[in-house]
Amino acid sequence: AQTVTQSQPEMSVQEAETVTLSCTYDTSESDYYLFWYKQPPSRQMILVIRQEAYKQQNATENRFSVNFQKAAKSFSLKISDSQLGDAAMYFCAYRTTYKYIFGTGTRLKVLA
Amino acid sequence: DAGVIQSPRHEVTEMGQEVTLRCKPISGHDYLFWYRQTMMRGLELLIYFNNNVPIDDSGMPEDRFSAKMPNASFSTLKIQPSEPRDSAVYFCASSFAGGGGGETQYFGPGTRLLVL
């Protein structure tokens, strides 16, 4: 069965600095999608970035980028120029068929 | 589009009462998902529908939980009778299979349920 592991329950970063959140997954499939979602205190789940497994190029969305290592089954999220509004829970997710499997989340604190 | 709409946003009820949570997916989406989020268990998929048909309800915790999707624009999750351990945030999400974006799920704002 597929699993998603986020080994960092909490991370802190200084405003304007860069932080990387880790995610590993386990699967026997070759074609799949990976996602990072952000959940601020409002509890709304917001899509941050998406990566197709068949693409070698790492996805980027403005200040957010991923380091996708398919062989290592690793999918980390890098946030550059961190802002106070980035403070939230971040969830890594793996999509199999139409079901998502979520990690347990990493709480990101941004220090002014 | 207004996004996924859920109601109510907050619900406080007493143990034993029936609770009904509502969801309106994004227009044109053909998949609808119900999740439950708690501190202890994280984000759990309860059930999902495709074209209004329940596909996988293996995550529904017990018979007290039921979900329906009478049409493409409306779904309900019902808990009867409710228990304190059902207290959680319940999310509805929808996606479009032909979207070409990995069937990204878009989440509603959630319903925070507290059962006393």
Over the stretch B33-68, which tens digit does the pLDDT of each residue have?
999 999 888 899 999 999 999 999 999 988 999 999
Cα separation, B46 vs B41, in Å, equals 12
Cα separation, A91 vs A107, in Å, equals 9
Given CB atoms, is A45 within the 8 Å cutoff of chain B?
yes
Cα separation, B23 vs B91, in Å, equals 9
Residues of chain A above pLDDT 90, percent:
78
DSSP conformation class of B28: T
CA angle B17, B84, B20 (to 5 degrees): 40
HSE-CB of A81 using CA atoms within 13 angstroms: 4
Residues A48-101: tens digit of each pLDDT: 999 988 888 999 999 999 999 999 999 999 999 999 999 999 999 998 777 789
Amino acid residing at A66: V
Compute the nearest-CA separation of B31 from chain A (Å).
Answer: 8
Whether residue A33 and residue B106 make contact (CB cut-off 8 A), yes or no, is no
Q: Tokens 């699967």 belong to which residue?
A: A27
Whether residue A35 and residue B104 make contact (CB cut-off 8 A), yes or no, is yes
